[in-house]
């Protein structure tokens, strides 16, 4: 008797880096592809400093190769940042406003969420400190005290 095999994961077909940039450009209403690429590079590098373990590996496998490199070339921080601190850190690194950086983060992470799929995204959000769900386009549900 053969052991039961798990069902294959269902997620979006692999997209190219160019397709990812176009999706971010369209969803984020960026005027140029270059501006969308700046946002993707900033946010994925930042996420790479926050995410560890199996979730990091699985997410990288679902991203276009160039996007996966941006994520995995970063050494994770020893103290992960909350969602708000993540946005403030990215803004400080680029010298842009927190509002612009928040927009960039949401535009990129919405595409990342679609590529990850709901099950992996839930695991990623359980790993990260509070404040990331909204950045990925999900409601942040907390338990009452």
pTM, 2 dp: 0.87
Domain at 17-127, CATH homologous superfamily = Uncharacterized conserved protein DUF2267 (1.10.490.110)
pLDDT tens across the length of the chain (145 residues): 444 444 344 445 579 999 999 999 999 999 999 999 999 999 999 999 999 999 999 999 999 999 999 999 999 999 999 999 999 999 999 999 999 999 999 999 999 999 999 999 999 999 999 999 999 999 876 655 5
Domain ranges across the chain: 17-127
Q: Is 67:20 a contact under the CB 8 Å cutoff?
A: yes
Q: Please count the other Cβ atoms lying within 10 Å of the Cβ belonging to residue 12.
A: 11
Q: What is the DSSP string of 62-86?
A: HS-HHHHHHHHTSPPPSSPPPHHHH
Compute CA distances 142 → 25, 36, 120, 145, whole Å.
32, 32, 19, 9
pLDDT number for residue 2: 44
């Amino acid at each position: 008797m053969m052991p039961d095999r798990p069902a294959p994961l269902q997620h979006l077909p692999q997209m190219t880096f160019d397709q990812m940039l176009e999706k971010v450009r369209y969803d984020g209403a960026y005027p140029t592809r270059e501006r969308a690429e700046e946002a993707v590079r900033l946010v994925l590098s930042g996420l790479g400093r926050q995410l560890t373990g199996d979730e990091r590996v699985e997410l990288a496998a679902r991203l276009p190769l160039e996007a996966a490199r941006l994520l995995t070339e970063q050494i994770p921080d020893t103290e992960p940042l909350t969602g708000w601190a993540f946005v403030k850190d990215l803004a400080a690194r680029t010298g842009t406003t927190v509002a612009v950086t928040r927009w960039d983060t949401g535009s990129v992470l919405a595409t990342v969420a679609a590529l990850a799929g709901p099950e992996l995204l839930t695991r990623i959000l359980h790993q990260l400190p509070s404040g990331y769900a909204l950045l990925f386009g999900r409601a942040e549900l907390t338990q009452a005290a």
